[in-house]
C-alpha cells in the first residue's frame, strides 16, 4: 500500500509503475483515487469548520445562559442542532469516501525498485548467480516419491483416504530427515543472531489484509468456517502481525526473527496439486526469517537474507542459483524479490525452494507499524525462506541419492540424525 501523498504529488510515477507490472487495467484507479481524495479533503475541511463554529456557538450558549438571556441562548441552540445534523451527514460521507479510497489503495501495487527487470511473468525472471556445480550422475535418479518409497518413507494412499489429494504421510527415516532439516535450519539462523519464534498458526482477517494482496488471499488462504480466522500460508504473516499498531523504539531495530510453522495453502491456479509426489501440496512446514528495519537498511538486509539461504543449502551440498523476479511476477506488496532454486539431478534443471522479498513499508503502513522518530515513520519489512519442506527435502534426496538406493547424509545434518551417515534401502 503506497502513501497517498505520492498520488497527489506524482500520479504519473504511480501509473508508470502499474504499467511496468502489466496491470494496465488499474491505471484508471489512480485518477479515481486522486479525485476521491480531493473530495474527501474538501469534506473534511467543511466538517472541521462546522465543528469550530459549533464549539464557538456552544461557548456562546453558556455565556448567554449565565447572563440570563435564555431566549437568545435557545435560538443559538437551534443553530447548533442544525450544525450537528449537517455534521452527521458530512461525517457519514467522510467514512464512505475513506472506505472507497482504502479499497482502491489496497489494489494499487507498491512502487518497485529501479533494479527490478521488466517482464510479464515468471518466464521472464533473470538468473543472477549459481552456487555450486550442478551434479550429473552416471546412474538414473528416480522420481522423489520413488526414492522415499525405496526406504518406506512415503504413504500417499493412506493420506488420500484421510485427507484427500495434496496431503501425505512421511514415515521412518524420511520423517526423521524432514524434521532434522527443519531443526538444522532453526539452529542455523539462531547462530546468525535471529530470535527463534513459534507463532500462532491462525490469524484474523485484519492481519491477513495487512500482510498480503487480495489476489494472494483468494489463491492461498483457508478460512475457518464461522470464525474470523485464517490458517496461515507462511509464518511471516503471523510474525509481522505481532507488531500491529506498535511504535518500535529506534534502538530496537533491526528486529530479526526466525520462525517455524506448518503452512496451509489452497494452491489455486494453473499448476494444480501433485497427485503422486509432494512437490505441490496443501500442507508443508517451513523455517522462515523476518526482519523489521529502518528504511535506510532495507537493501542491505535483503542481500544478507538471500545469502543466508544460499549458504544454508551449500552446507547441505546442494547446488543452487538465484533468480531476480521480474516486475510482472512480483506480488503487489513487493518492492523487489528473488527466488532461490535448487538443482535437480533427475530433471537436470533448477526448481524453486524459497524466495526473499523486500516489501518496503507496504505491510507496516497497512498494519500501523512505526519506528519512534521525529515523524514516527513506518518500518520496512523483509522476509525470506530458510527452508520449506518437503520441497527442500526433494532437492536433498535427489542430490544425495546413491546408486545402491541408499541416501547419503552430509556432515552438517548428521548430528540431527543421531549420527547416521546413510539411510539404507529397505529390504523385504
Residue 17 has pLDDT above 90, yes or no: yes
Q: What is the pTM of this model?
A: 0.89
Residues 75-99: pLDDT tens digits? Answer: 777 777 777 888 888 889 999 999 9
The DSSP bridge partners found for residue 344 are: 349
The pLDDT of residue 257 is 98
- Residue 219: CB atoms within 10 A of its CB come to 15
| Residue in 266, 268, 287, 284 with CA at minimum distance from that of residue 383 | 287
| Residue in 335, 332, 326, 320 with CA at minimum distance from that of residue 385 | 320
- Model confidence at 275, pLDDT cuts 50, 70, 90, reads confident
The pLDDT of residue 109 is 94
Going from the N-terminus, what domains does the chain have, and what CATH number goes with each? 4-105 (1.10.287.40), 122-423 (3.30.930.10)
Cell matching residue 279: 512437490
Residues 326-358: pLDDT tens digits? Answer: 999 999 999 999 999 999 999 999 999 999 999
- Model confidence at 271, pLDDT cuts 50, 70, 90, reads low
- Model confidence at 196, pLDDT cuts 50, 70, 90, reads very high
Kindly list the strands in the beta sheet with 380-389, ordered across the sheet, starting from the edge strand earlier in the chain. 126-131, 320-324, 336-344, 349-358, 380-389, 283-293, 255-264, 195-197
Higher-confidence position of 376 and 132: 132
Contact 263, 201 (CB under 8 A): no
The pLDDT of residue 272 is 61
Q: What is the per-residue burial (b if ≥16 Cβ within 10 Å, else e) of 107-125?
A: ebbbbbbeebeebeeeeeb
- Model confidence at 428, pLDDT cuts 50, 70, 90, reads low
Residue 273 has pLDDT above 80, yes or no: no
Higher-confidence position of 274 and 416: 416
Residue 247 DSSP code: E
Residues 357-393: pLDDT tens digits? Answer: 999 999 999 999 999 877 779 999 999 999 999 999 9
d(CA 267, CA 282): 7
- Model confidence at 47, pLDDT cuts 50, 70, 90, reads confident
Residue 270 has pLDDT above 60, yes or no: no
Contact 32, 18 (CB under 8 A): no
The pLDDT of residue 201 is 97
The pLDDT of residue 334 is 96
d(CA 24, CA 14): 11
Residue 158 has pLDDT above 90, yes or no: yes
- Model confidence at 292, pLDDT cuts 50, 70, 90, reads very high
Higher-confidence position of 61 and 356: 356
- Let me know if 382 is exposed, middle or buried by CB neighbors in 10 A (0-12, 13-18, 19+): buried
* Percentage of the chain exceeding pLDDT 70: 96
Which pairing describes strands 349-358 and 336-344: parallel, antiparallel, or unpaired?
antiparallel
Residues 206-255: pLDDT tens digits? Answer: 999 999 876 677 778 899 999 999 999 999 999 999 999 999 999 999 99
Q: Which helix (H) or strand (E) holds 286?
A: strand 283-293
Q: Which residues contact 367 (CB under 8 A, 6 or more apart)?
A: 207, 210, 211, 240, 241, 243, 244, 245
Kindly list the strands in the beta sheet with 222-223, ordered across the sheet, starting from the edge strand earlier in the chain. 202-203, 230-231, 222-223
The pLDDT of residue 87 is 85
Amino acid at each position: 500500500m503506497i502513501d497517498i501523498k505520492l498520488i497527489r504529488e506524482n500520479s504519473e510515477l504511480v501509473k508508470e509503475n502499474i504499467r511496468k507490472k502489466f496491470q494496465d487495467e488499474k491505471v484508471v484507479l489512480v485518477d479515481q483515487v486522486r479525485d476521491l481524495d480531493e473530495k474527501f479533503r474538501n469534506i473534511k475541511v467543511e466538517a472541521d469548520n462546522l465543528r469550530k463554529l459549533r464549539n464557538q456557538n456552544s461557548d456562546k450558549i453558556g455565556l448567554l445562559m449565565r447572563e440570563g438571556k435564555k431566549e437568545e441562548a435557545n435560538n443559538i441552540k437551534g443553530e447548533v442542532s442544525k450544525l450537528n445534523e449537517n455534521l452527521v451527514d458530512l461525517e457519514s460521507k467522510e467514512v464512505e469516501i475513506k472506505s472507497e479510497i482504502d479499497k482502491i489503495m489496497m489494489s494499487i501495487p507498491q512502487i518497485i525498485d529501479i533494479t527490478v527487470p521488466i517482464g510479464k511473468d515468471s518466464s521472464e525472471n533473470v538468473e543472477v548467480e549459481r552456487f555450486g556445480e550442478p551434479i550429473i550422475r552416471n546412474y538414473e535418479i528416480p522420481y522423489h516419491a520413488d526414492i522415499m518409497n525405496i526406504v518406506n518413507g512415503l504413504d500417499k494412499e493412506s493420506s488420500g483416504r484421510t485427507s484427500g489429494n495434496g496431503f501425505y504421510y512421511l514415515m521412518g527415516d524420511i520423517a526423521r530427515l524432514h524434521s532434522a532439516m527443519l531443526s538444522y535450519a532453526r539452529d542455523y539462523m539462531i547462530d546468525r543472531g535471529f530470535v527463534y519464534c513459534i507463532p500462532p498458526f491462525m490469524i484474523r482477517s485484519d492481519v491477513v489484509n495487512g500482510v498480503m494482496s487480495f489476489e494472494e488471499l483468494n489463491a492461498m488462504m483457508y478460512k475457518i468456517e464461522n470464525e474470523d480466522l485464517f490458517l496461515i500460508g507462511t509464518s511471516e504473516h503471523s510474525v509481522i502481525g505481532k507488531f500491529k499498531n506498535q511504535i518500535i523504539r529506534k534502538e530496537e531495530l533491526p528486529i530479526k526473527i526466525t520462525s517455524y510453522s506448518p503452512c496451509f495453502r489452497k494452491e489455486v491456479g494453473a499448476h494444480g496439486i501433485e497427485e503422486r509426489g509432494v512437490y505441490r501440496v496443501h500442507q508443508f512446514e517451513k523455517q522462515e526469517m523476518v526482519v523489521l528495519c529502518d528504511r535506510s537498511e532495507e537493501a542491505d538486509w535483503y542481500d544478507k537474507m538471500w545469502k543466508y539461504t544460499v549458504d544454508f543449502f551449500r552446507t547441505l551440498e546442494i547446488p543452487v542459483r538465484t533468480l531476480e523476479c521480474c516486475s510482472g511476477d512480483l506480488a503487489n506488496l513487493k518492492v523487489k524479490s528473488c527466488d532461490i532454486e535448487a538443482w535437480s539431478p533427475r530433471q537436470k534443471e533448477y526448481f524453486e525452494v524459497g524466495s526473499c522479498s523486500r516489501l518496503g513499508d507496504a505491510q507496516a503502513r497497512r498494519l500501523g507499524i512505526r519506528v519512534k522518530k521525529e515523524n514516527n515513520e513506518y518500518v520496512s519489512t523483509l522476509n525470506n525462506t530458510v527452508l520449506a519442506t518437503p520441497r527442500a527435502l526433494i532437492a536433498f534426496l535427489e542430490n544425495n541419492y546413491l546408486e545402491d538406493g541408499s541416501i547419503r547424509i552430509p556432515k552438517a545434518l548428521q548430528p540431527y540424525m543421531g549420527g547416521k551417515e546413510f539411510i539404507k534401502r529397505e529390504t523385504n
